[in-house]
Chain A
Amino acid sequence: MCYGLLTRRDFDLQVKFSNRGPTLIAKVAGELDHHSTGYLRQKMDYEIIKATNKNLIMDFSDTGFMDSSGIGLIIGRYKNVKSMNGETVLVVKDSRIAKILEMAGINKMMPVFTSVNEAFESL
């Protein structure tokens, strides 16, 4: 039997982009797993290439769920932004998400803040 591909974007995940000076802010809301990272990766890379901004803030303050798939997504975008001489900083409020990122040593690669304002001022 052949099971078709998804015919609609049925992801419990939304990403909204905004600009603040030299910084692109990606606000990720919903649930981030292997299923939704494919979609998010595509959206973010398109926006990073298109945007004239130098730096990236990935804002996970409205992200209700993240498993280790999020780690790969963050490191991938970090590398892409770095290759264009930009910096990536993260905003994380949920303690479980913070714990997962710490396990992978993400906090040693890039700064992690609890608010977008703090993140913006650090750049």
Chain B
Amino acid sequence: MHPINEMNLKFLSKSNNEAFARVAAAAFVSQIDPTVEELADIKTAVSEAVTNAIIHGYENSHGWIEMYCKLFKNAVEIVIKDNGKGIEDVELARQPLYTSRPELERSGMGFTVMESFMDKLDVLSAESEGTVITMYKTFKSIDVKES
């Protein structure tokens, strides 16, 4: 399946860009007309991924976060990439309630939330190189044959 549209964004790892990133992703995805609920799923997952890059990847220092969106007729692939410190143990980080920063009142539910609101989640990470999160969601509300 070929994408029908693509969008790349690069922004600083500032916490006020969390809202910017999720709204931008939702605005881009809205052109294929998913439901309000499906758009809210996208917003939540993007917010989690970008927050991870800011808090854990760059540990609140400033670095670049890249977001790549590929839009298909009834689906979207979103990649969130940082060049931060990376995740030591991805499997452990994906466990519900696990957090490396309990002192920040983090719940450790970020990856669990992403997994539950998206259909597919891949996490690639290398220490001191960065992390790439790839998420994929099919919009069940959109009939491909019709469009």
Q: Is the CB–CB distance between B54 and A103 below 8 Å?
A: no
Main secondary structure of the interface of B (DSSP, over half): helix
Closest to A38 in B: B15
Other-chain residue from A3, A35, A76, A100 in contact with B12 (beta carbon distance below 8 A): A3
Q: Is the CB of B48 within 8 A of A68?
A: yes
Q: Is B82 close to A, CB under 8 A?
A: no
Residues of B contacting A34 with CB < 8 Å? 15, 18, 51, 54-55
Chain A residues with Cβ below 8 Å from B12 are 3
Question: Which of B14, B51, B105, B113 contacts A103, CB < 8 Å?
Answer: B113
Contact A67 B113 (CB under 8 A): yes
**A33's closest neighbor in chain B, by CB?**
B18
Of chain B, the residue at the smallest CB distance from A106 is B107
Chain A contacts for B37, CB-based, 8 A: 96
**Contact string against A for B residues 1-44, beta-carbon threshold 8 Å, 1 for contact and 0 otherwise:** 00000000000101110110010000000000000010011011
A72 to chain B, nearest CB (A): 4
Contact check, B105 vs A100: say whether CB atoms are below 8 A apart: no
Least distance between A95 CB and chain B CB atoms (Å)? 8
In the complex, are the beta carbons of A31 and B51 less than 8 A apart? no
A3 B109 Cβ-Cβ under 8 A: no
Neighbour of B107 across the interface among A6, A71, A96, CB < 8 A = A71
Q: Is A10 an interface residue (CB 8 A)?
A: yes
Contact between chains at B19 and A72 (CB < 8 Å): no
Between-chain CB contacts (< 8 Å), 16 pairs? A33-B15, A33-B18, A33-B51, A34-B54, A38-B15, A41-B105, A65-B47, A67-B44, A67-B48, A67-B110, A67-B113, A68-B112, A69-B106, A96-B40, A100-B109, A104-B97
Chain B residues packing against A (C-beta within 8 Å): 12, 14-16, 18-19, 22, 37, 40-41, 43-44, 47-48, 51, 54-55, 62, 96-97, 104-107, 109-110, 112-113, 116
Known: A65-B44, A104-B107. 5 other contacts (CB 8 A): A65-B22, A68-B110, A71-B107, A99-B116, A104-B109
